[in-house]
Amino acid sequence: MPEPTSTAAGVATIAMGAASTSAITAFGVSLGLRADILIAGFFGSLVAIILLNTVPGTSDTWVELLRTTVRRMFVAFASSLTAGYLTPLVMLMVQLPEAALLGGAFAVGGGAQQVLTGVIRRLSGPPASQNPQGGTQ
C-alpha cells in the first residue's frame, strides 16, 4: 500500500519547516527571540570585541585576564540579546526591507550599546528642559 502523503507534499513540508523559524522558549514560555537573529547579533558582538576592542584589557595578570574574559562573555551575551529584541524594532524605525534582517542583527549586535541608547532616546521623546533650580519647566 502506498504512503498516504505524496513526495511533493513531503518536500513542501520540509521546505516550509526550514524557511520558518520558531521562537525560543525557556521553561515553557516563549521568549519571542529567533535563533538566527541571536546568532547574527552574537557574531556582530564578537567582531566588535575583536576588531573594535569594545572591551579592552587592562593588564596581563591572571586575575585581570580572567576578569576581562568574563566581561567579554557577558558583553557578547548582552549584545546578542539586544540584537534579538531590538533588530525588528530598528528595522521598522529605519524602514529597511526584510532581506536586511540578519545584516541588521549583525550591526545591532556590534553596536549594541549605541543602538540601545539611540532607541531609548527616540522612544522616550525629547528630554525635559530644566531650570537652574533643578526642577522642570
User: Is 13 part of a structural domain of the chain?
Assistant: no
Note the pLDDT tens digit of each residue in 66-90.
999 999 999 999 999 999 999 999 9
Calculate the CA 135 to chain-centre distance. 37
Note the pLDDT tens digit of each residue in 127-137.
777 665 655 55
User: Is 14 part of a structural domain of the chain?
Assistant: no
Cell numbers standing for residue 59:
593588564
User: Is 37 part of a structural domain of the chain?
Assistant: yes
Long-range pairs for 53-61: beta carbons < 8 A, 24 or more residues apart: 54/113
The CA-based diameter of the chain, rounded to the nearest angstrom, is 87
Q: How long is the chain?
A: 137
- Which pLDDT does position 20 carry in this prediction? 57
The rounded distance, in Å, linking the Cα atoms of 68 and 40 is 23
Q: Which residues contact 108 (CB under 8 A, 6 or more apart)?
A: 41, 44, 82, 83, 86, 87, 90, 115
User: Is 78 part of a structural domain of the chain?
Assistant: yes
Which residue ranges in the chain fall short of pLDDT 70?
A: 1-21, 130-137
User: Is 94 part of a structural domain of the chain?
Assistant: yes
The rounded distance, in Å, linking the Cα atoms of 116 and 90 is 10
User: Is 109 part of a structural domain of the chain?
Assistant: yes
Give me the number of domains the chain comprises.
1
User: Is 21 part of a structural domain of the chain?
Assistant: no
The Cβ of residue 113 has, within 10 Å, a number of other Cβ atoms equal to: 13
E strands of the chain, at which residues? 23-26, 29-34
Which structural domain range is residue 95 located in? 30-122
- Which pLDDT does position 101 carry in this prediction? 93
